[in-house]
Structure 1
Amino acid sequence: MSSGGQAMAAPKLAPPPRLSLPIVVGIIIVLGVAAAWAWPPFARWPSEWAIPFRAWVTEGFVWFSAAAKPVTRILSWLLSWPLWFSEALLFRGFPALSLPPLPWVAIVGGVAILGHWAGGRGLAIFCGLAAFYLAIFGLWQDSMQTLSIVLVTVPLAAALGLALGLWATRNTRVERILNSVFDVMQATPHMAYLGPVVILFGFGQVPAMLATFAFALPPMARCTILGLRTVPPDILEAGRMAGCTPRQLLWKVEIPAAEKTLMLGLNQVVMQTLAMVVIASLVGASGLGQKLLFSLQQLQIGKAVEQGVAITLIAIVLDRLTQAYMAKVPSHTDPKNGFTARHPHISLFVLLLAASVAAAGFSHGFAVLPKEMTLSYGGPINNAVRWISKELFPYIKPARDALTIWLMLPLRNFYLWLPWPVMLGVLAAIGYHLSGWRLALLPVCLFGFMMLAGFWEPLMLTIYLVTGATILCVIIGIPIGIWAAHSPRVAHVTKGVCDTLQTFPSFIYLIPVIMLFQTSDVSNVIAMLAYATVPAIRYTYLGLLRVPSATLDAAVASGATPWQRLRKVELPIAFPEILLGFNQTIMMALAMVAITALIGSRDLGQEIYKALPGADTGRGLLAGLGIAFIGITADRLIGAWAMQRKRQLGMA
């Protein structure tokens, strides 16, 4: 006690030093490997200890299917009518009324007219030639079957997505729930949607349409939420001051102000629908997807190329039409003018339709192009494939084998050897280092569930394939993105190539892979590579473009060489954006996992594919959730890393 009667303050102890992440990871690896050596279940969770979630899910769906059969039958019946009408209009006709379908000439011309209305002469020519391709190469009926599902599914998915998005913007709790549901839905591969639909609705066109609808719904809802959340406050205030009711404010102010974002959502719905329609051929959807799948299974590469080009052209036409409409400047005409002057494109189509129907009455060739008038280039492609197999494969094989020996096999053996406590512990340590306990527990819970369900080995094989593809995507994509950011000419070419690659349905990438690499793990990775490199290129390019010019000028003034400027200034600042591209690359590689199962694998995608014939919903759904869990874990970890880097750079 001092003379003033006050006790002396105890010395404040410094907090214990926090172990760095590499040290923590090293400790986890040592302890995990030692535990696996001491007790085998720490190396591989025994299959007899697996919890039968798979059987429970399958039995639950069977029970629910029986209980909900009256509802599913009514829903199928209701949806069959618009689908029947669309098919009758495009290719079946109306036999009860003795009415034929629309003549192919009218549809080709109508697509060209629609292209002119949306984007001018160039788009009209492209759309017309693309539609003519479907007819001249004998793919008309199959194309119309595919298009009929798209024409019915897109309005339904867009309408429900818009409604859910509106609901979410009015209720924060609903928005949180929907965002969590959409995260899982968008991370789940296409094929995983098919199992539950088969149990509930069986096989056929309507089940395929419902699976397509479920897959295409989230983008519209999310774009609706984004569009309405980003309406400028001054526009909303002006609407309120003008005396708008809440309903008027929504329909006359908010939705028009968010039109660009909503149209982007519609564009995504169209593309997702077309991608899913092809995959839905596995549950009985007729059309181009069914024919393409058959051609791939029979290794009829020439026919597969013809059908793949048709699917790609449909996708590009729909993409270009929606994009052109987004950029279209509204035109105003004098209401005193006649209908023809005010609506020239509609008038021209009506005239074309009348002329083509009249011509079809005299010659059936105007209604349906005769088979003897169609063309095919499948034969030369088959000859080319045989030539490639004979002449080029001896040169391709060493590269494939080297990639297998030096990258794929070491990765596969590593992931299959890795004890599960090490995998879960390392992911938890990384999550805790980046964002705390909540992120640390996420991979433990998700991957731990897959282990308890008996899916650990397929999970590791999936991670192995995605890791191999991601490594190659980064090695290729980042340098191309850097090159494009420093060369406008390269950027122009690169953006065109990326736009085209992203328009292709994922099935298409299997064709050149089978031609060049046959079937192997390397083939799966190369297919993922072609599909998933685009985000690595785009985000690297955008990240470097967004580096402040003042920062670059300061680096130049300090005497930095171009290489020093890139390595010490541009790449560090662009790193958070590059990480987002890395994240999207993983997501797109995961999306291809179920597709590449068609050419052979032992991963979760193969589990989904094997579950379809026997309607083993539990197997397919849990495998799909496993792929989604990988995507969610990667998304959260990489997102947290990007945010940490932004804070370190003072950007957040």
Structure 2
Amino acid sequence: MSWLTEFPQLSRRDLLTLRQTLDEGYRSFSRSYGEAIENFFDPLLAFLVWFENLLVEAPWWVVIAAILGITHYAARSIKLTVGVGISLFLVGFFGMWEDTMSTLSIITVCTLISIALGIPMGILMARSHRAQSIITPVLDIMQTMPAFVYLIPVVMLLGIGKIPGLIAVIIYAIPPVIRLTNLGIRLVDKEVLEAADAYGVTPMQRLFNVQLPLAMPNIMAGINQTIMMALAMVVIASMIGVSGLGQPVLRSITNQYFTLGILNGAAIVVLAIIFDRVSQSYAKRSQRYMRSGS
């Protein structure tokens, strides 16, 4: 009757055997396919290294001018453009320019990959209840599992470097854009869809000309959250060799360098605010344009 008072569980020997079996299986998989997987990611690594070198080695005023041009095109706000310029100048003035550009490069690449993968997956979820029932639990696991847990298999498979950090950031950051793309498409008014069908549009025309434009505010909110979550992973990704602002923050924690941590943390906040304000301004401007056009 001990099972009434004690929780039934595997014996230590059986539990140890199970763990050893799983560990050996993963090690065997890593030895067999690790090199092939690394080769698969080589083009992405080459692009990431090229983009990072481009930002770091280009004259600082050229980079700031390019960012200001993108900011003004997206937001059409003089105040925001000037604020972004001043913030970036202060980041460089305090000696954090190279680390900031490294962080900017990986966040940009992670965001583009998350958008390229997340929006089609969100569309698939919106068009198929079966796909939604399969993908939703996966997203729940990706959002609730601590980042340190899924860093373990990624590092064991690919080692230390930029690509493992990139994968970890994408796993952590991609769920919002998938969820909000799915939500935005599902929230499109049924009467609007019926009116589009009455005009004889094809399913693809209905998706690209009706559903996606109307779902754009939700999609942009998902992209915004994806960027914020990617920036939140900067410090954790630095533990597996990703260069950027996370490494000085990590050094400040281990060596109790208060000022170093505060300054580099502030630079991360500056990037977060820039991405947040620019993406939100672009979303609002696009929404106003759509309403005026309609």
Task: Give the alignment partner of residue 66 of structure 1, picking from 2, 15, 31.
Answer: 31
Letter in 2 for 1:60: G
8 Å contact kept, 1:260–1:326: yes
Task: Give the alignment partner of residue 77 of structure 1, picking from 42, 55, 59.
Answer: 42
2:112 corresponds to 1:112: no
Letter in 2 for 1:122: K
2:61 corresponds to 1:102: no
Match of 2:151 in 1: 194
SS in 2 for 1:126: helix
2: CA distance, partners of 1:110 / 1:182: 35
2:194 corresponds to 1:230: no
Match of 1:267 in 2: 224
Match of 2:12 in 1: 48
Deviation at 1:49, TM superposition (A): 6.0
1:137–1:232 CA distance, 2 compared to 1 (3 A): same
1:298–1:45 CA distance, 2 compared to 1 (3 A): farther
Match of 1:245 in 2: 202
Letter in 1 for 2:39: I
SS in 1 for 2:250: helix
> What is the CA deviation profile of residues 502-533 of structure 1, one whole-angstrom value per residue up to 9, with x for unaligned ones?
xxxxxxxxxxxxxxxxxxxxxxxxxxxxxxxx
Q: How does 1:153-552 map to 2 (within 5 A)?
A: 153-328=110-285, 329-330=288-289
2: CA distance, partners of 1:47 / 1:316: 52
> What is the CA deviation profile of residues 334-366 of structure 1, one whole-angstrom value per residue up to 9, with x for unaligned ones?
xxxxxxxxxxxxxxxxxxxxxxxxxxxxxxxxx
SS in 2 for 1:68: helix
Q: Which runs of 4+ in 1 moved over 4 A?
A: 43-47
Bigger-Rg structure (1/2): 1
Letter in 1 for 2:284: A
Letter in 1 for 2:41: S
1:59–1:46 CA distance, 2 compared to 1 (3 A): closer
SS in 2 for 1:226: helix
> What is the CA deviation profile of residues 599-626 of structure 1, one whole-angstrom value per residue up to 9, with x for unaligned ones?
xxxxxxxxxxxxxxxxxxxxxxxxxxxx
1: CA distance, partners of 2:104 / 2:93: 17
Match of 1:633 in 2: none
TM-score, reference length from structure 1 = 0.42
Instruction: Name structure 1 gaps, 5 residues minimum.
Output: 1-31, 37-41, 92-100, 332-652
SS in 2 for 1:258: helix
Letter in 1 for 2:227: V
Match of 2:97 in 1: 140
2: CA distance, partners of 1:234 / 1:111: 41
> What is the CA deviation profile of residues 448-487 of structure 1, one whole-angstrom value per residue up to 9, with x for unaligned ones?
xxxxxxxxxxxxxxxxxxxxxxxxxxxxxxxxxxxxxxxx
Instruction: Name structure 2 gaps, 5 residues minimum.
Output: none
Q: CA RMSD in A?
A: 2.3
Match of 1:393 in 2: none
Letter in 1 for 2:15: I
1: CA distance, partners of 2:246 / 2:8: 40
2: CA distance, partners of 1:285 / 1:55: 30
1:46–1:206 CA distance, 2 compared to 1 (3 A): closer
SS in 2 for 1:244: coil
Paired-residue identity, %: 35
1: CA distance, partners of 2:26 / 2:94: 43
8 Å contact kept, 1:162–1:220: yes
Match of 1:90 in 2: 55
Letter in 2 for 1:102: A
2: CA distance, partners of 1:241 / 1:142: 55
8 Å contact kept, 1:119–1:321: no
1:88–1:45 CA distance, 2 compared to 1 (3 A): same
Structure number with greater CO (CA < 8 Å, separation at least 6) is 2
8 Å contact kept, 2:126–2:183: no
Deviation at 1:303, TM superposition (A): 0.7
8 Å contact kept, 1:76–1:201: no
> What is the CA deviation profile of residues 79-137 of structure 1, one whole-angstrom value per residue up to 9, with x for unaligned ones?
1122022112101xxxxxxxxx3211122233334333315122112211221122101
SS in 2 for 1:283: coil
Aligned residues: 286
Deviation at 1:44, TM superposition (A): 10
8 Å contact kept, 1:216–1:272: yes
Deviation at 1:145, TM superposition (A): 0.8
Deviation at 1:62, TM superposition (A): 1.3
1:313–1:54 CA distance, 2 compared to 1 (3 A): farther
Deviation at 1:180, TM superposition (A): 0.9
2: CA distance, partners of 1:251 / 1:270: 24
8 Å contact kept, 1:164–1:221: yes
> What is the CA deviation profile of residues 415-451 of structure 1, one whole-angstrom value per residue up to 9, with x for unaligned ones?
xxxxxxxxxxxxxxxxxxxxxxxxxxxxxxxxxxxxx
